[in-house]
Each structure stands twice: as C-alpha cells, then as structure tokens.
Chain A
Amino acid sequence: MRARELIQETFFRRTYIWIVHVIWLALYGVFYWLFLPDTPELGQFIFIWAGFFLALALSAGIFGDDIASGRICVLVTKPFWTGELYIYRLLGLSLQAAAHLVLAASLVLVLHAIMRKGSVDNLGVWLLASWLLFNTCAALSASLSIVVTRAFNSLLLLVLIVTGYFVMGLLTMYLRHEASTGALASFIRYPWPPFELLYKFAAGEWGQYALTVGKYSVTKNVACVIHSLMLTTAYGVIGILLLSRRQFSRVRD
C-alpha cells in the first residue's frame, strides 16, 4: 500500500507532469517526421530528451516542493523509515521513465511502419541507455532536491552538467596535455552522470566489429551498465542519508 501510494504520487503530485510526458512524446514524433530518422540520430535525440531533460522535468522539486511548503513535516512524522520515502519516489520516477520509453518506442515503431523512413534496428539499446541515464540523473536531482528548496534542484543540475562539459570541452581543446585536464575528464566521465559512457554504449563505439554482435563489446557494455547502476545507487544513498539526517522546521517560533 505504502509503496504503491508513494510511487503513484510521483506522477500525480503536480499537474504538469503528464503534460511533460505528452510534449516529450510529441517531440519524438516531430523529430522522426522532420529529420532523417536513422537510429543514431533518433537514439541520440531520445537519449538526451528522455535520459536527461525528462529526468530534470520529472524530478523538479520532488522533495524541495514538500520542504518549501512544510508538507514534508507531516510525511516524516509517519511511522516508517524515512529512506523509503526516497526509494519509492525514485522508483516512481524510474517506472515513469520506463513507461515513457515504452510509449516512445511504440510511437516510433508505428511511425516507422507508416512512413517507412530510415532504420530502427538499435532503438532498444538507445532506450536502455536512456533509461539508465534517466535513473542516474533522477537520483542526483532527487538528492539535490533535499538540500535545494522548490524546483531549483533541476536548474542547478542543468547548470552543473552544462558547465562541467563546457569547461571540459575548453580544457580538452586548449590544454589537452595538462595533467589537470586528464583528472577533470576522469571526474566528468566517472562520478558524474555517465553521458559519455552510455552514449558510447548505445552508439556501439566500443569493441571490434563482429558479424554477430556488431561493434559491441560485451564486457565493456556490461561494465558500463553496472557503472551506471552503481552511480544511481551512490546518489541514492547520499539522498537517503541527507533525508534521514535533515531537520525540518518551517518556522522558528
């Protein structure tokens, strides 16, 4: 009962959430219709929109709204481990993303059947990568939401990620051989949401070409999936610790 209610709440908590799903699905349709719909392009589009921007939109204020309004005070006085609140909400986001990606795949396949444009051969791998990216971004955003009130968690995450990649891009361009550039690149690549690793995983940029498995390297891909799940877990554990230890008080009267 509790798990179901907390999971459902992630969808029903704000009116705009179902609108976001509809708009995002419409965007995939428009992209397929207007642009060359080969898997890499379509996959990249879904990877960024569903894996990153959807995570930001759905997790905006997931705890921050409750903290700002004081509603969290009622929730954390209920007799259950506070970590459950985090886990089920994150699970709710993850299930929404899974359902969203299934709908996205159905939409693309229907459009492909009607319009017969391009190829959708590796769409499944892109969707898996998108879901993994969504989970890491949602976990990080949810954890930020415990310390940043209202919906600023998503904005902060957007700024952090864009800035991180921008700085890394600049350093790679101008200071490629510096040790600090290598360290930053490693930092961006491993403890941050794994955009680059999952992109390579989905685009098949690892391993040698083989007739049976294309360019995929099973070992590296499994490692990439495990890395992504570990990051989600690590962000989640940080979030649970923050939520369990945080003190909630709206007024100091």
Chain B
Amino acid sequence: MGHDGEAETKTVECRRLTKVFRRLLASREKSVYALREVSLSVQRGQIVGLIGPNGAGKSTLLNLIAGLILPSEGHVAVCGHPARSIAARRGLGYMPEHPVFPGLYTARAILQYHGALLGLSSRAVSLQTDRSIEQLQLQEFIDRPASDFSQGMKQRLALAIAMMDDPQLLLLDEPSNGLDPIGIVQLRDLLKRLSSSGTAVVISSHRLGELEKLTSDYIFMHRGRIISFADRIAANRAGRLRVELVSNGPDIAARLLPASRVLDASDTELVIAIGDPEEVPDIVSHLATDGARIMSVLLERENIEEVFLRLCNEGTQP
C-alpha cells in the first residue's frame, strides 16, 4: 500500500482525505469527523483489507473511493480519474454489505440488468452471465427470484455483479457475510485469481481470520485515522518465542535475558517476547553460547486478531 509505488500501477490513490458529517442546521461542534487526513494508495493486483472497530471510518473510506460520497477535503483517484467520474466508475466493481434486488427479478435477469447498465452488448452480457454462473456456482439458483435467496446466495450474486466486465478495482464490503465454508473458500480462491490477473481488491471486513488467509496487506483504521499500514509492521509483528530447554529455565532467563522480555519461565520452557522476528537467530545463538541446552525453538507470531486488538488499544491511548 505504499506511498512509493509508481503512478501508473496505482489503482486507487487517496490524498489527505477528510470527511465530516454534519446534520442540517447543526453547529460546527456537533460535526462528526468520519475520516481525518487519510492518505493511501492501492496498487494494481493488490488485495487490501480494511480493518477497524465500528465507527472507524472503513465504510466511509469505501464510499469515498466508490464515489458515493464526496470528501470534505482531499482527493480520491480511481484508475487515474477522479472518483465519481464516469471514467473512474468504468473500472470499478462495488459490492455493498447488504445487497438488495428488485422483487420480481430472477438472478439471471439481475445479471442481465447490470450488464446492460455497464453498457455491454447483449452477447457480452450473455457471456458474462455464463461466466459468473460458473465462477460463483449459481447454476442451481440462476432462474429463481432473487428475493427468495438466502443471505449467502445474495452475497454470491452481488459479487457476480461487482465482477462483471472485469473491473480494475473491486470494493467489497463484508463479502463473506452469510457464506458457508465452501463459499468462503471459493470466494478466497476467486479473489486471489482476480488479484493475480491485475485486479486490485479492497475489502472491508470484521472476519479477520478470513482476511488473514487472503492477504497480508491491511489498513488498520481507528476513529477516522489510519493507525498503521500492516505491511509496514508485518516484519515487526510482535510474537513470542517458546524455547524448550533441558532444565534451569528460570536461572537461564535471569542470567541471559532482560526481565521485561521474559513472559514466562518454567524449568523446561522459556517464553520470550519478540518485537522483530530477525532477533530470533541472535537470541537463540546468545542462549546456546551461554550454556542453555536448547531442545526446540518455536516462534509464535501474533495473528491478525491480536494485532488488531493491540493496535486498537494503542489507538485508544491518550
């Protein structure tokens, strides 16, 4: 999500985005700052997870990129064009959190409707529909009214709509809502395939475990600000080193390690706090050189949920 990628590979670029919601006739003090000076870019083929607690500004950021709302300050560009312009929308596929479809339409009719809105010819719409049916396993449901669909089926259909005409950017708001485990795996594989073919994907999701299997690029948001780019902290992701010893764990810990880094010390095991994984060889070497008889070493890194909680806690500190 770099700031340093080349301009031509940037699918999304946000510069100092601020969004203030103000009720009609309300005073300035009652304004809600949904986003404050957010800057980021998403490269071609990159999958980015937007993470944050409720009210962090994730959906506002997605809406700004989709051009659904206008920034109070700052600038958003999609595929090099200002967001909300027709040129920007040409490369955009958007999937809302709760997709809704008109009552009498079958899934096929809905795909044809959206294909027509994209300006595709009837032949292209037909091809796209067939491809979506195959990719998202819609065969069984394609001629049923979409109003009868379960949440998971609605999600699949909404994803099929977002993916029509191979967009350069996919914006997905909680895409795995209501999907069964098979659907989630299919979704993951599909997004990875799209990404490898150059589509940038921005996902807002609370399912951190799922997100972790899909990407290592996260944007952590808190109170309208980006509090960390996860790719920057990935190398420094906090973790624990479990060192299995023959004996004398507490003694070795007291002699060789600063107390603040020892999380636990039993006779046969030491648990050591690790900031940077690159420290591990040095620590192991230091322990072994100074007499510790090491049986095994296991590095346990924080999973994305733990990182999320830690960053939220840090973000709430004064």
Contact = CB atoms under 8 A, between A and B. Distances in A.
Contact of B103 (A6, A15, A74, A251): A15
Given A74-B96, A79-B86, A253 B119 contact: no
B100 interface: yes
B59 A251 contact: yes
- B contacts with A: majority SS: mixed
A70 B116 contact: no
B121 interface: yes
B60 A78 contact: no
Given A15-B103, A79-B90, A252 B58 contact: no
Nearest to A15: B103
B116 A4 contact: yes
B218 interface: no
Given A13-B102, A253-B55, A253-B56, A1 B67 contact: no
Most buried by B among A77, A81, A251, A252: A77
Given A74-B96, A74-B161, A81-B86, A253 B102 contact: no
A253 B59 contact: yes
Interface in A68-108: 69-71, 73-81
A75 B116 CA distance: 11
A249 interface: yes
Nearest to B121: A1
A80 to B, nearest CB: 7
B226 interface: no
B116 A252 contact: no
Contact of A78 (B63, B89, B158): B89
Interface of A: 1-2, 4-6, 9, 12-15, 69-71, 73-81, 247-253
14 contacts: A2-B117, A9-B102, A12-B102, A14-B104, A69-B100, A71-B99, A71-B102, A73-B66, A73-B96, A78-B89, A247-B68, A250-B97, A253-B59, A253-B204
